[in-house]
Each structure stands twice: as C-alpha cells, then as structure tokens.
C-alpha cells in the first residue's frame, strides 16, 4: 500500500543580488531619514533620498509599518553583529562596555520605531523576536566572559543588564542638553556593573 506524500509548500523566493542590494540601500536610507525627521517622515522622502521610485519602496515594503519594522530589526541585528565583532577584537570586558554604550546611544531612535509600530497595532515583541534573541545571546556571552575575567559583578544576570540598559537610556534622554551631567551619570552606572570593592 502506498501513501501519497503532500508536496512541500514552496517558501518565498530568495531575492536576486540586485534586489538584495536595493533592499539594503532602502533600509540604510530609511534609517537615516527616520533618525533625522522622526517616524513621521514619509516613504516618498525615503524613495527620493534613495533615488528610486515609490513603487520600488512598496515592492520591498508594502506599508510604512513594514519599512519601520524592517529598520528596527536591522538595528537590532547590527548591534548583535557589532557585539560579536567587538568580542573578537577586544575580548568580553571591553566588548561588553562598548556594546553597552552603543545600545544606550541607539535606544532613543529604536524606542521611537517601536512606539510608532505599537501605535499602528504591530506586535513589536513578536516582530523583532528573532533579532532580539540574537542580541540577548550576544549580551549573555559578553556578560559571562566579563564575569569570568572578574571585571563585572558575578550576581548580575542578563535580564537585569537589559533593565539597566533601558533605564540608562531613559536617564540620558532626561539629561539631554547637559553633557557633563550625562557623562557623570553614565560613569556611575558603569561603575555599578563592576564587582563591589571589599571593605
């Protein structure tokens, strides 16, 4: 007796090389436009800056929300990649503190993207889950390595580190326009990550 097998469902076709380049270029331009003008900037402005027609933008990103989502995911992926690069070049301790600074500096724009998507009814957590997991894994590796080196307190865990990152970003937004105060506050946070000094 033979059983019929269900034919596999074809997945989306991989993009051609030129289409991949176009998509990457659009994301790069869109990130710059939204960073400069806010998430209210138009897709027409993105198309104009990228020197393409609006139809090209919509071919890759059917809605503005799809474009914002792709930019947000790209930012998270880039932070994870940068963390891996820093680890390879400088070791876990320096990489952890460098990535800490990069994440804090990127947070205001990332938060604006997330807020705009949430307002449009997009489940941001689900949309960015894969990229978020990759960044979480890099932070975990860097934190563990820095703890083994004795450079970061051993009782700190990744969820607490992420909460500190979020809080630091909010703090620096509050101190916007006061660079000396922001630098002191950032130094206090970084010092708090270090192992306590034995009394």
Domains and CATH numbers, the chain: 17-62 (1.10.10.60), 63-193 (1.10.357.10)
Distance of CA 104 to the CA centre of its chain: 10
CA angle centred on 25, ends 81 and 53, rounded to 5°: 155
pLDDT band per the 50, 70, 90 thresholds, residue 63: very high
In 3-state terms, what secondary structure has residue 121?
A: coil
Mean pLDDT, to the nearest integer, of 144-166?
95
Mean pLDDT estimate for the chain: 88
Q: In 110-136, which positions are buried (b, 16+ CB within 10 angstroms) versus exposed (e)? A: bebbbebbeeeebebeebbeebbebbb
Residue with tokens 């390595």: 145
> CA-based angle 171:105:156, to the nearest 5?
65
In terms of pTM, does the model score above 0.85? no
User: What pLDDT, in 10s, does the model give residues 12-52?
Assistant: 555 567 778 888 899 999 999 998 898 899 999 999 999 99
């Amino acid at each position: 007796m033979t059983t019929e097998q269900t034919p596999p469902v074809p997945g989306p076709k991989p993009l051609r090389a030129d289409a991949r380049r176009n998509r990457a270029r659009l994301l790069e331009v869109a990130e710059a436009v939204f960073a400069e003008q806010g998430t209210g900037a138009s897709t027409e402005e993105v198309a104009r800056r990228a020197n393409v027609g609006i139809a090209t933008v919509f071919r890759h990103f059917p809605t503005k929300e799809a474009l914002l989502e792709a930019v947000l995911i790209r930012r998270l992926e880039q932070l994870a990649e940068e963390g891996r690069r820093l680890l390879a070049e400088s070791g876990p301790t320096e990489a952890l503190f460098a990535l800490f600074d990069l994440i804090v500096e990127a947070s205001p724009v990332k938060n604006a993207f997330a807020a705009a998507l949430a307002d449009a009814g997009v489940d941001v957590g689900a949309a960015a889950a894969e990229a978020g997991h990759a960044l979480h894994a890099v932070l975990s590796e860097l934190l563990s390595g820095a703890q083994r080196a004795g450079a970061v307190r051993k009782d700190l865990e990744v969820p607490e580190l992420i909460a500190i990152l979020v809080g630091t970003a909010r703090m620096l937004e509050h101190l916007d326009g006061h660079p000396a105060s922001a630098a002191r506050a950032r130094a206090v946070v970084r010092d708090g990550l270090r192992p306590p000094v034995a009394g």
